[in-house]
């Protein structure tokens, strides 16, 4: 029935994967999502099902036990999953970013050790840049690693770790001045550490504490936490890529694919909002006819569907650009910016179409209304996307006069 958000030129394998995921979303996620979200309950059964489908290893190369699929396949799966419940796509997203960073930047030993476990969903990833005093301004990170023999000692506090409790591997970005004299540009003195830990809360490894879940307005079910490092000792072979000072670039590479992912989430949530709006508009009657027959409501539906199409097209374009091996920061920034803004608008329109019932927790749109704002913030706010887009445009359109 879904006419919107079609993707042309997919291979048979891609179509088969998507059909399987869509079927899973319709049968296993949508029927339980709102109830679990209201209880802020971790969707263990759904996660187990996705593990079985191989979703945790979708982009991990086949030689490491994954499916070796493209960013496009991955993003289209995320779009489907977010259509069912955005929190589930959040459970996969940080795992995917960490696996991607390992694939691109890890040493051979790190790839062989982590990627097969990640493909199976046994090791689950979280990534951590933000701190209590910073999110957008990553260069201001104050958490620090100091070398001590064959180990590094990490101290500092991190904030907003999606999957901070449930993950067993956290990619943590800290400042590491060793080998980088005073005055080195901040982004050249940062290092990503691969920190293994037990799942759960409290002291999950000597020197590492995950205090508990942050209570959020939406995006429930998935755990978001702080992380406190107090004399945390990490062996030197757990520096991502084996060399210090490259962490900022590694993280930015991860965030670039993460942005396509957040765009895909925006597309999925917007699609679901449209489905809910168009369905309700044909059932609710006012002034003797279904509200869908009032032109004002039809116009809303037209605008919503146009936004769903536009966001999908930009997200697919950004994913294909990365898959072709080209730099995609401009396209990813544009896709993330547009998809998250449109998502918020489409959700708002679907909410209005529901009248007073949209305000009731019995209706799914109430959940979407609390979820959409997260997309305006995660993987860089709208302002940060516009800074990236603007900078790239000035590079491309340099004044020649
Ligand atoms: C639910 C949730 C999950 C998250 N998960 C993770 C995670 O897994 N890992 C992780 O590392 N982080 C995570 N984050 C953190 C997220 O990336 C940051 O919240 C985000 O980058 C914004 O940073 P901030 O909150 O510190 O806002 P700030 O950087 O303080 O920004 C505040 C406001 O100022 C604006 N602003 C900032 N700088 C400029 C500028 N130069 N010009 C114009 N406007 C500007 C921003 O756009 C924003 O509107 C998560 C956040 C949330 C809410």
Mean per-residue pLDDT, 8-32: 97
Average pLDDT, the chain: 96
- Read off the pTM: 0.96
* Nearest-angstrom CA–CA distance, 221 and 40: 4
pLDDT of residue 40: 97
Q: What percent of the chain has pLDDT over 90?
A: 95
With cut-offs at 50, 70 and 90, classify the pLDDT of residue 43. very high
pLDDT of residue 1: 52
Q: How many C-beta atoms lie closer than 10 Å to residue 215's C-beta?
A: 8
* Nearest-angstrom CA–CA distance, 65 and 230: 35
Mean per-residue pLDDT, 243-262: 94
In this predicted model, which residue has the larger pLDDT, 116 or 184?
Answer: 116
349 contacts: CB under 8 Å, gap ≥ 6: 273, 277, 300, 303, 304
Q: How many C-beta atoms lie closer than 10 Å to residue 212's C-beta?
A: 13
* Nearest-angstrom CA–CA distance, 74 and 206: 35
pLDDT of residue 187: 81
Which helix (H) or strand (E) segment holds residue 119: the answer is: helix 108-119
Measured by CA distance, the residue closest to atom 26 of ligand 1 is: 135
Mean per-residue pLDDT, 224-252: 97
* Nearest-angstrom CA–CA distance, 315 and 55: 19
Measured by CA distance, the residue closest to atom 4 of ligand 1 is: 160
Quick one: which atom of ligand 1 is closest to the CA of 216?
1
Mean per-residue pLDDT, 312-321: 97
pLDDT of residue 105: 98
pLDDT of residue 179: 63
Q: Count CA atoms closer than 13 A to 188's CA, side-chain side.
A: 7
- Name which of 33, 34, 72, 27 is nearest 53 in CA terms: 27
32 CA → ligand 1 middle, Å: 30
Catalytic annotation, residues: 379
Quick one: which atom of ligand 1 is closest to the CA of 173?
11
Write the DSSP symbol of residue 361. T
> Is the CB of residue 225 less than 8 Å from the CB of residue 210?
yes
User: Comparing 185-189, 307-311, 321-325, which segment has the lowest mean pLDDT?
Assistant: 185-189
pLDDT of residue 131: 98
In this predicted structure, the answer to whether residue 400 has a pLDDT above a threshold of 70 is: yes
With cut-offs at 50, 70 and 90, classify the pLDDT of residue 186. confident
Span 132-166, pLDDT tens digits: 999 999 999 999 999 999 999 999 999 999 999 99
Span 163-182, pLDDT tens digits: 999 999 999 999 997 766 66
In this predicted structure, the answer to whether residue 185 has a pLDDT above a threshold of 90 is: no
In this predicted model, which residue has the larger pLDDT, 184 or 273?
Answer: 273
Measured by CA distance, the residue closest to atom 42 of ligand 1 is: 383
> Is the CB of residue 218 less than 8 Å from the CB of residue 367?
yes
pLDDT of residue 184: 75
* Nearest-angstrom CA–CA distance, 23 and 19: 6
Measured by CA distance, the residue closest to atom 27 of ligand 1 is: 135
> How far is residue 348 from each of residues 1, 296, 308, 352, 353, measured CA to CA in Å?
23, 15, 13, 6, 9
Mean per-residue pLDDT, 360-386: 96
Q: Count CA atoms closer than 13 A to 160's CA, side-chain side.
A: 15
* Nearest-angstrom CA–CA distance, 156 and 176: 12
pLDDT of residue 180: 65
| Pocket of ligand 1, beta carbon within 6 A | 94, 127-130, 134-137, 160-162, 216, 219, 224, 374, 377-378, 380-381, 383-384
Span 335-349, pLDDT tens digits: 999 999 999 999 999
């Amino acid at each position: 029935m879904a006419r919107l958000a079609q993707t042309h030129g997919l291979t048979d394998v891609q179509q088969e994967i998507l059909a399987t995921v869509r079927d899973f979303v319709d049968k296993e996620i949508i029927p339980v999502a709102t109830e679990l979200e209201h209880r802020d309950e971790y969707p263990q059964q759904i996660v187990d099902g996705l593990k079985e489908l191989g979703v945790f290893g979708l982009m991990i190369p086949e030689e490491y036990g994954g499916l070796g699929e493209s960013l496009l396949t991955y993003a289209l799966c995320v779009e489907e999953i977010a259509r069912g419940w955005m929190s589930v796509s959040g459970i996969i997203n940080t795992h995917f970013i960490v696996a991607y960073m390992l694939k691109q930047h890890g040493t051979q030993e790190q790839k062989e050790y982590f990627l097969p476990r990640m493909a199976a969903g046994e090791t689950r990833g979280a990534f951590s840049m933000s701190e209590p005093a910073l999110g957008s301004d990553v260069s201001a990170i104050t958490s620090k690693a100091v070398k001590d023999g064959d180990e590094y000692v990490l101290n500092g506090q991190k904030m907003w770790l999606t999957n901070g409790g449930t993950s067993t591997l956290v990619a943590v970005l800290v400042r590491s001045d060793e080998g980088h004299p005073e005055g080195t540009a901040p982004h050249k003195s940062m290092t990503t550490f691969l920190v293994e830990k037990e799942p759960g809360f409290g002291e999950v490894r000597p020197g590492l504490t995950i205090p508990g879940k942050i209570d959020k307005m939406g995006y429930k079910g998935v755990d978001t936490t702080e992380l406190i490092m107090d004399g945390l000792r990490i062996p030197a072979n757990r520096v991502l890529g084996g060399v210090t000072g490259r962490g900022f670039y590694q993280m930015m590479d991860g965030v670039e694919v993460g942005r396509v992912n957040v765009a895909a989430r925006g597309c999925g949530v917007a699609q679901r909002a449209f489905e809910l709006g168009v369905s309700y508009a044909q059932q609710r009657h006012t002034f003797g006819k279904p509200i869908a027959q009032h032109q004002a409501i039809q116009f809303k539906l037209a605008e919503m569907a146009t936004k769903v199409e536009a966001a999908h097209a930009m997200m697919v374009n950004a994913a294909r650009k990365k898959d072709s091996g080209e730099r995609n920061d401009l396209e990813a920034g544009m896709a993330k910016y547009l998809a998250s803004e449109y998502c918020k608008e489409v959700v708002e329109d679907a909410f209005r179409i529901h009248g007073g019932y949209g305000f009731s927790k019995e209706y799914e749109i109430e959940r979407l209304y609390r979820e959409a704002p997260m997309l305006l913030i995660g993987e860089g706010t709208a302002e940060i996307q516009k800074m990236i887009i603007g900078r790239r445009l000035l590079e491309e359109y340099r004044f020649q006069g």
